[in-house]
Structure 1
């Protein structure tokens, strides 16, 4: 065998033809030159769109006597090997691009094209399509051990169906689909033909069931194209290809040794191929693709780097960057159960606090109705230490969290129960935050809530929780609590709404977030007897002791009770002049306000007199020759 033949034969050792017993040249020629259709035809048909030549034909032409080909005339072996070497080279170059477009069958004794067409295509009459694709001369004389290609587009078309739907998901059917009317809203149970494109809104989710039972869980804010849904024969295994154009998809492919399913998940940078497994594919905004394998194994291949391919086993992941580089890593461990939130009480948002992502780039979070994670209500990918979703109704759910590493590969999942209890909503505070309230009359107020029959108000010391509150009251007449039982100090309080159900039972909603306040004693009551009076320029003036930051209220009336004051003013200095008061008897009461804003009680009444001084045109009192002020007669 020439060197050219050696190179040709080396191009496909995995599909080499079994050695045939050596025979005499004449015997072999008489046997193979008998009038019958040839096993393989050479040269290939010029109408073929590709130069398709199996490895068996290479071996048959180069590694065996030339009488295996159409024998007349006998070609020089060197020339034939050169041509076949070129054919093998062309085949090798196209193998990578066509690998996912064909299904390969190794020929067994007794196989015919009709049998294979019935098995793979479900119709024996389509054997000529296999013959034309593989350049087979006779459908009845197939060489055992050789490999026959079945183009996947010839397989019978299958459909998928909507298994579960939450939120708004739209579908754009293929142009060839009968009755196609553009993009429309998806409905539960809807059949999806090959070529359908699904778009999942940011707050939505959809599970798609393939014909073989495989489940595709398309995450929020994702676009998925059902590129190929083909079945071997009428009831054979499914050959599926989906294209993730943005977002994420999690796949569960049930193992079936009798009819192994084939699923390829493609993105712009990588292809993840499985044969019975559970995994997720996540496409980042920069074009990189992350694959995390929970069960089985996944073959991950880069589109830009042909040599960047790896079989990723259970518990590991792979990431293909936008420039085609492949990275592998063990999945991050699951979060401890104690770090998963178990209660959500916000009626506007579903806020889920998470640990700071010290090892990774964020989290993949799902909220589901069932423990198996099939009915997903909320899902998304988050950076930082909090996941925020739109609110869900009160009830019991399951929370599933996966920490992502620096390549965006989600780790092992942690799952726990999640209770949502947000109604009836708690009241809003009317008392100002950090208010300073008097110890002799703490007054805490909140806004009423429609449909509520009572309110529960608790007070605890600052820095203490509410497991043993200092006060715990249920009030039914308005949302307020007044107490005189608190010593001076720092506290916080919270309140919850209580409604009465139709069956007569009460239902308490969540507490509001605690709000701080401070209880302080009121300033001391001013001593009216300590007031100092003098008269300057005929105007009575009062003085008293004060402290920095204090202010004072002056109430002047004709009676001690000050029911109808003639003057009610405030001064910032511990002094006041009784100007602009007509002559007569008055009563004065004083109140002090300290820097915290608390007012003391009003002092007892102090009587004083304004004399009827005679005043000049400037308002100053007239004086006699002796220097004394002059009184009116």
Structure 2
């Protein structure tokens, strides 16, 4: 009886769309090498069989022989150990290419060694991907399927096999923490399969787009966006077919998956598309039935390069540390079972640089008792000039001043009447092409001009009649 004992791993996984932008790039080896697989020879084993079982290619028997002292391929000593080096395992068909990484993401190999995950690396059976709360990794399988590992997750790659001759793939991953999203290439040949395991539930497909989440309380959920997924409760073996637009959940003690329709897409119509501060702040309408929300953001035109992902308990999400540019945000609601709903996308334009300077005077809400007012601000970083506006209204429709100043941090405005005024200032820097590049205005500042009354008092007497007269402005009241 033959028995092959590859290293076992358990992982959980989810899906989403991803293009293989790096498909032709050379894949660097992992910085750390795993412990080799050690196979104890049993009756009937040959190097041809072992090369086919572990390396997916019987023609690799020569490389396997060289790594083990060149034993006769058909006369292996019963009970001896055949070592399958990690270097050979990483060259076999199958595996996963790291397409994109953002935030802090680590990998761990079978022997326990770990390091920073980088684009272009190649992962194989037994490797684990670990993301911090803001981390994200996109993996591409040999058959073109895409796996996205979201923040605060741990995914082990249990079995990543691909037959070059039969064009047949077999992928099994285990989600030990968090969430993964996958877009699975249609598995046409008989025998091809794609499966995501969790402690309570397994999700198997032959071509679809779906997600799997492992909650902190141990419950597992799946949400299906396209195609169909078969969910199996591991405790009882009971299964259910989940169609697109539906989700399923399995908690401790459940004998079968509980199915529910996905929450509808969130309403993002109130989200401000233009963001003018370094921290993108997106508030949207709350969704009925939602207990939390998941959001992703990526550069426009590159949906596979996720640069931020977050889960929020309220309908408001924030992203920091992004360069100016055009982005797309994707937001979905999560119900009380932990099933993630349909997602909505929204375009975002970030123009936060150069950042506006800090205003100094007049202080916001302060009162000035003179007609001439000096507007002052700090020197902006890399600024070559400033744009300053003064208006009678907070919307800056009734402008009294709208000027671009060269390298000065103040502007005196004369002849102001009593009343309320608003002002703001923006920095002007040199753009990448050398031309002036104006950043966003800072928050509007308000001040009040209240000119003193009675500076010019006149006294007139006409017999026993005395008349007092003084200067003032409409709307003022006086004590005499």
TM-score, length basis structure 2: 0.70
Trace 1:136-215 onto structure 2 (pairs within 5 A). Answer: 158-175=94-111, 182-215=113-146
Q: CA separation in 2, counterparts of 1:448 and 1:183?
A: 46
- Structure 1 residues 426, 372: CA separation in 2 closer, same or farther (over 3 Å shift)? closer
Over residues 199-254 of structure 1, what are the superposed CA-to-partner deviations in whole Å (9 max), with x where a residue is unaligned? 11222211111222211011122111001223468544222211111121110101
Aligned equivalent of 2:333, options 403, 422, 428: 403
* Distance in 1 between residues matched to 2:269 and 2:113, nearest whole Å: 48
- State the SS of the aligned residue for 1:453: strand
C-alpha distance 410-456 of structure 1, shift in aligned 2 (>3 A): same
Q: In the alignment, is residue 320 of structure 1 matched against residue 250 of structure 2?
A: yes
| Alignment correspondent of 1:373 | 303
In structure 2, the residue matched to 1:471 is: 401
Which residue number corresponds to residue 435 of structure 1? 366
Determine the C-alpha separation between the residues in 2 that align with 1:522 and 1:406: 63
Q: 1:502 to 1:365 in 2, by over 3 A?
A: closer
Aligned-partner Cα distance in 2 for 1:504–1:162: 37
**Separation in 2 of the partners of 1:439 and 1:311?**
77
Q: Which runs of 5+ in 2 are unaligned?
A: 4-48, 60-91, 460-480
Q: In the alignment, does 2:454 pair up with 1:518?
A: no
1:288 corresponds, among 198, 216, 219, to 219
Partner of 1:275: 206
Paired with 2:130 and 2:140, the residues of 1 have a C-alpha distance of 16
Q: Which moved more, 1:501-510 or 1:322-331?
A: 322-331
Q: How far has the Cα of 1:297 moved from its partner?
A: 0.9
Range 478-487 or range 287-296, more displaced: 478-487
Distance 2:373 2:124 in 1: 69
Are 1:263 and 2:194 matched, yes or no? Answer: yes
Name whichever structure is richer in helix by fraction: 1
In structure 1, the gaps of 5 or more residues are: 1-44, 49-113, 125-155, 176-180, 530-633
Asked whether the equivalents of residues 212 and 261 of structure 1 are also in contact (C-alpha less than 8 Å), the reply is: no
How many angstroms apart in 2 are the aligned matches of 1:387 and 1:445? 34
Partner of 2:435: 505
Quote the offset at 1:523 in angstroms.
Answer: 4.9
- Determine the C-alpha separation between the residues in 2 that align with 1:520 and 1:389: 42
Contact 2:287 2:333 in 1 (8 A): yes
Aligned equivalent of 1:253: 184
Asked whether the 8 Å contact 1:158–1:194 carries over to 2, the reply is: no
Cα distance change on mapping 1:231 and 1:495 into 2, 3 Å = same
2:229 match: secondary structure: strand
Shift in alpha-carbon separation, 1:340–1:312, aligned structure 2, 3 A: farther
Cα shift at 1:306: 4.3
SS in 1 for 2:269: helix
Mean CA deviation greater in 256-265 or 387-396: 256-265
Is the Cα contact below 8 Å between 1:357 and 1:384 reproduced in 2?
no
Change (3 A) 1:452 1:248: same
C-alpha deviation, 1:323, in angstroms: 4.7
Q: Which residue of 1 aligns with 2:343?
A: 413
Counterparts of 2:166 and 2:425, CA distance in 1: 63
Is this contact kept in 2: 1:122–1:234, CA < 8 A? no
1:335 equivalenced with 2:266 (yes/no): yes
Aligned to 1:230: 161
Structure 2 counterpart SS, 1:403: strand
Match of 1:21 in 2: none
Q: Which has the higher contact order (CA 8 A, sep 6+)?
A: 2
RMSD of the TM alignment (CA)?
A: 3.3
Q: Residues 311 and 450 (structure 1 numbering): CA distance in 2 closer, same or farther, change over 3 Å? A: same
1:436 shift after superposition: 1.5
Could you tell me whether the CA contact under 8 Å between 1:216 and 1:249 is conserved in 2? yes
Q: Is the 8 A contact 1:260 1:276 kept in 2?
A: no
Counterpart-to-counterpart distance in 1, 2:419 and 2:251: 59
Quote how far apart the aligned CAs of 1:411 are.
1.9
What displacement does 1:194 show? 0.1
- Alignment CA distance shift 1:521-1:305 (3 Å): farther
1:166 Cα deviation from its structure 2 partner:
2.2
Q: Residue 412 of structure 1 aligns to a residue in which SS? A: strand
User: Counterparts of 2:202 and 2:285 in 1: how far apart (Å)?
Assistant: 32
CA distance in 2, matches of 1:503, 1:157: 46
**Conserved 8 A contact 1:260-1:275:** no
With over 3 angstroms needed to count, the CA separation of the structure-2 counterparts of 1:237 and 1:436, relative to structure 1, is same
Residue in 1 that maps onto 2:377: 446
| Number of positions where the alignment pairs a residue of Structure 1 with one of Structure 2 | 379
Greater per-residue strand proportion:
2
Partner SS for 2:382: coil
Q: In 2 relative to 1, CA 414–163 (structure 1 residues): closer, same or farther, beyond 3 Å?
A: same
Output the CA distance in 2 between the equivalents of 1:271 and 1:467: 60
Does the residue aligned with 1:425 lie in a helix, a strand or coil? coil
Out of 283, 297, 305, the residue aligned to residue 353 of structure 1 is: 283
3-state SS of paired residue (1:194): coil
Q: Is the 8 A contact 1:455 1:474 kept in 2?
A: yes
SS where residue 231 of structure 2 aligns? Answer: strand
> Alpha carbons of 1:500 and 1:191: their partners in 2 closer, same or farther (altered >3 Å)?
closer
Secondary structure in structure 2 of the residue aligned to 1:248 = strand
Distance 1:399 1:251 in 2: 18
Contact 1:203 1:390 in 2 (8 A): no
Once the two structures are TM-superposed, the CA of residue 460 in structure 1 deviates from its matched residue by 3.6
Counterparts in 2 of 1:228 and 1:187: CA distance versus 1, 3 Å: same
